[in-house]
Structure 1
Amino acid sequence: MTSPDLPQGCTNFRLRRLTRMVSRHYDAHMAASGLKTTQYSLLTNVLARGPLRPTDLAQALNLDASTLTRNLKPLVQAGWLSQDEGADARSRLISITDAGREKRAEAQRLWRTAQNEMNALLGIERVHALHALVDENIAALQRAGLTDEEGDDTVAHRGAKA
């Protein structure tokens, strides 16, 4: 028998359901730019932090090196990011290109529309409360030693003003 004070149902299932719904909303808007939301986030983070070494970008986004390499590849191939020699022959620097800045600006307009629609759908107060609750819980889980395996996209999601 469960206590009436304990939450009922699976927290993981509820959060995954919510994130799938929100992701579909943003992805539908971002599709017009030809970017996935993860690619937009990478462009935004490189713009805000770069030029920088892949190791530093992976650390900033809390991604493992192979995931970062896989995610960077199509952006480099499209000419939106470049990987140039760093301080020595063994190091590389990732930077955003002019074409990448243009692509990011295009996607930013679409992201902003998606964000404004989400604000309207949920209400500004609810979005503020959701952000605060999510941030508080991320901090609590980090204090408990859990890490964010998929990356911290706060630079890209602070209003995408970078």
Structure 2
Amino acid sequence: MEEPFGDDCFAIRQAARYVSQIYDRHLASVGLTITQFSVLCRLRRTGPMTMKQLADAMRMQRTTLVRTIQPLRRNGLVLSEAPLADARALSLTLTAEGQTRLEAGRKHWYAAQAEFEHSFGAQRAHALRGELFAMTNHL
């Protein structure tokens, strides 16, 4: 068995935690995590989505998404409704308060982005994004 330093998954997860901490630190002042911010961005960009659609689009397990959505619902940033056609399929919608919080978080997101790109290098960050999105077919 190879040393842990040859473990691609460990290296990616460690880097993801490090980068998430940067973004979470910046977004804390508006009461959001980077995952919550990303959910709000997705809902703003696409409009209402079911939990399944959102989980699939974000490559998240539904249980993880439920834990992310709960505080957003509780704080009035996201509305969840069951359509009449299928009460089992919750539809998630960004509320006006959610839009306001998203806009408040935008400058903090840009600051986190700038911090990461400053320490990692803008060109390397761009190339890394391309590789990671290619891995999940999100280009």
TM-score of Structure 1 vs Structure 2, range by shorter chain = 0.7 to 0.9
Counterparts in 2 of 1:56 and 1:18: CA distance versus 1, 3 Å? closer
CA RMSD of aligned residues (A): 2.4
Return the offset for 1:89: 5.8
Aligned to 1:130: 128
Q: What stretches of structure 1 of length at least 5 have no aligned partner?
A: 3-7, 143-153
Q: What stretches of structure 2 of length at least 5 have no aligned partner?
A: none
TM-score by length of 1: 0.71
Aligned to 2:60: 63
Secondary structure of 1:82's partner? strand
TM-score by length of 2: 0.82
Return the offset for 1:47: 1.1
1:75 lines up with 2:75 in the alignment? no
Which of these residues, 109, 112, 117, is aligned with residue 110 of structure 2? 112
Percent of paired sites with the same residue: 28
Distance 1:10 1:58 in 2: 27
How many residues are aligned here? 135
Deviations 1:52-93 (A, max 9, x none): 222222222233333322221110110000012424261432
Distance 1:76 1:64 in 2: 18
More helix by share: 2
Distance 1:19 1:89 in 2: 36
Larger gyration radius, structure 1 or structure 2: 1
Amino acid at match of 1:128: H
If asked which structure has higher relative contact order (CA below 8 Å, sep 6+), I would say 1
Distance 1:68 1:89 in 2: 20
Q: Which runs of 4+ in 1 moved over 6 A?
A: none
